[in-house]
Chain A
Amino acid sequence: DIQMTQTPSILSASVGDRVTITCRASQSISSWLAWYQQKPGKAPKLLIYKASTLESGVPSRFSGSGSGTEFTLTISSLQPDDFATYYCQQYSGDYTFGQGTKLEIK
């Protein structure tokens, strides 16, 4: 199966910062990569799919890039509501998630 590895596991940042989370696939998944945001006690929320397409209603400060095996999620200017855990997920084969990146307030 395809393994997904996210870095870092924890990211400390301040409101207004630009942050980037990286996700690597164990084999090429083309652009079949999604990003989810999860807050404590809530279900994940789809943010980005096909590596770079923003889901409807998601703020434009979120962006995704990459293809093949390396992908990034960037938040251009952190807002208080963005502090959460982020997961990448591949849907090229059987579906697998990264282990998550917790974005916390510095």
Chain B
Amino acid sequence: QVQLQESGPGLVKPSQTLSLTCTVSGGSISSGNYYYSWIRQHPGKGLEWIGSISHSETTYYNPSLKSRVTISVDTSKNRFSLELTSVTTADTAVYYCARDIVRGLWSYWGQGALVTVSS
């Protein structure tokens, strides 16, 4: 059974870079034609797709965040990462990592990591 686990700082200062890592267990990132994604949820609000990456490093980003987002993959460590630059308080959210079963359809999710942007 595939499992995902987010890790990273829970507090980031405004204007700095938010960095999170998602470690995948129960299956190799290198196998299958899956995409690994980051999705966030502002407190008490709905869900927002941030971007996705394949094991061959093909990436797709939400146009509204594209200028600030980088998603990378490390197949040797079976994990992928998110960097979001120039954060503001509007980036405070629970950040989920997820794996799809078909592009854009997420069946496997991490438990979520709350990241607060505050000075």
Contact = CB atoms under 8 A, between A and B. Distances in A.
Given A43-B96, A43-B111, A43-B112, A97 B47 contact: yes
Interface residues of B, number: 22
A78 interface: no
Q: Interface SS of chain A: helix, strand, loop or mixed?
A: loop
B63 A94 contact: yes
Nearest to B104: A91
Interface residues of A, number: 21
A89 B47 contact: yes
B62 A94 contact: yes
Contacts of A46: 101, 105-107
A99 B48 CA distance: 10
A87 B47 contact: yes
Interface of A: 1, 32, 34, 36, 42-46, 49, 55, 87, 89, 91, 94-100
